[in-house]
Amino acid sequence: MAACQIMKIYKFPEPVLRKVAEPVKEIGAELQDLIDRMGETMYAAPGIGLAANQVGELKRVLVYDLTPRTESPSLSVLINPEIVYGEGEIVYDEACLSVIDFSAEVSRKAQIKVRGCDRHGKPVEVEAEGLLAICLQHEIDHLNGKLFIDHISSLKRALYKRRLNKMLKKGEDAETMQ
């Protein structure tokens, strides 16, 4: 095992977050390693879901774990996930490890069915509702180069971008002053 498993989480507006991830064709040691590192990175953040785009890998892989903190963690993996069914509506205040200092209410499908493969390449079908349905839609969006801020009004998004630019500018100024 590598000494440091934690990967860099790319933040909006990094271009890799806007790219469509490629389907996984081979499930080998390299992919297992990526999955392990994504899991470590997600737990360390901490987060409940992470898509490969967020760590700069354009592969259709996502990890998630909605196990309560009081129980031992149980990492779930979906490779080449596809939403095959969705109905109803659920609104939730979403945030993202790649979108700093922001959350907003997003409307999603309330019940979904997702097909994909587990980390061994075995086909799996996940029926999800509530927070799991939200999480999976959010992570699959990432694989398609989409962020939760794409689901909010253009005015709210513009205000966030302006605030973010100010924050980033401040950060740069602080760096140059050092």
The stretch near Ni ion (CB under 5 A) out of 4-12, 36-44, 96-104, 121-129 is 96-104
Rounded least distance, CB 143 to Ni ion, Å: 11
Separation between Cα atoms, residue 89 and residue 105, nearest integer Å: 12
Beta carbon of residue 138, minimum distance to Ni ion (angstroms, whole number) = 5
- Only one of the segments 71-79, 90-98, 150-158, 166-174 lies at the binding site for Ni ion (rule: CB under 5 A); that segment is 90-98
In the complex with Ni ion, the residue whose CB is nearer, 44 or 172, is: 44
Residue 125 pairs in a beta bridge with 115
Write the interaction track for Ni ion spanning residues 111-150; mark x where CB under 5 A is met and - where it is not: ----------------------------------------
Q: Which one from 40, 89, 139, 172 is the annotated catalytic residue?
A: 139
Tell me whether residue 35 or residue 48 sits nearer to Ni ion (CB atom).
48
Strands (E), 47-140: 49-51, 61-64, 76-87, 90-96, 99-108, 111-117, 123-129
Instruction: Mark the segment that binds Ni ion (CB under 5 A) among 38-46, 55-63, 91-99, 120-128.
Output: 91-99
Token pair in block for residue 52:
């490969």
Kindly give, in sequence order, each residue whose CB lies less than 8 Å from that of residue 157, ignoring residues fewer than 6 positions away.
149, 150
- Specify whether 139 is catalytic: yes
Alpha carbon distance, N-terminus to C-terminus of the chain = 36
What is the widest separation between alpha-carbon atoms in the chain? 53
* CA 127/CA 93 separation, integer angstroms: 22
Size of the site for Ni ion (CB under 5 A): 1
What 3-state DSSP class applies to 76? strand
Sole binder of Ni ion in the list 24, 96, 112, 133 (CB under 5 A): 96
Q: Which residues are catalytic?
A: 139
Q: What residue ranges bind Ni ion (CB under 5 A)?
A: 96
